[in-house]
Copies of this chain bind each other. A is one copy, B any other.
Amino acid sequence: MRKSEKKIERLINYRRVLIKLARDNEKNIFSHQLAALTDATPAQIRRDLMEIETSGSPAHGYNIENLIESIDDYIGKESSKNVAVIGLGNLGKAIVNYVNNGSENVNIIAGFDIKPEKVNRVIAGCHVYHLNDLDKIVDEKNINSIILTVPVRVAQEVAEQVTQAGVTGILNYAPVNLNLPDNIFVENRDMIAAIEKVSYFSDH
């Protein structure tokens, strides 16, 4: 059975925070300290860590190195995944710059577009290919996830093309629901919907 999506998301976030702390030579952490650095409550953190069979001591909290190892064992060790961006408009370009300059874990190694002025350029270390070369490059570079930042009217069509090329994970920034086979993992990140939501709750 697929592990709970929310839990995996939390564990990934704990690990990112813990890796930073380990680099700063921190040795131990209490659940309430980890809670302050993440989105979770101390109780949630204790439950999650109990489920991955790690326990802390009341006096010293959790050992940070052990915790990172336990998370690695549970969800798989962080390995650099090959990710591509489809659509190098303003948003696509900003994402490439942001991710390739800001993350050590994720690397966007290819971009795809159809506009001649974008194809064959390099943006923040990422080569932009023509969308026609998708099958070849996905195969050559072993790309399993993509970030979709194309206009809404072509999003479904491009998403189908991408999955036919063998991609199984899509981070979708196009403000439209994608209809794809069940084995494709899609995470929607519609910015306009997010802003509307925040606007709503800031008033209530």
Contact = CB atoms under 8 A, between A and B. Distances in A.
B170 A200 contact: no
Interface stretch (A7-15, A22-30, A58-66, A111-119): A7-15
Interface string A90-131: 110111011100110110000000000000000000000000
B95 A93 contact: no
Contact of A196 (B12, B97, B147, B195): B12
Contacts of A52: none
Contacts of A136: none
Interface bin, chain A: 35 or more
A198 B169 contact: yes
A193 B13 contact: yes
Contact of A106 (B147, B167, B169, B192): B192
A37 interface: yes
Nearest to A5: B201
A199 to B, nearest CB: 4
A179 interface: yes
B91 A12 contact: no
Contacts of A187: 194, 197-198
Contact of A198 (B3, B16, B171): B171
Nearest to A172: B198
Contacts of A16: 175, 192-193, 196
A177 interface: yes
Interface string A42-77: 000000000000000000000000000000000110
Given A94-B94, A177-B38, A202-B144, A171 B185 contact: no
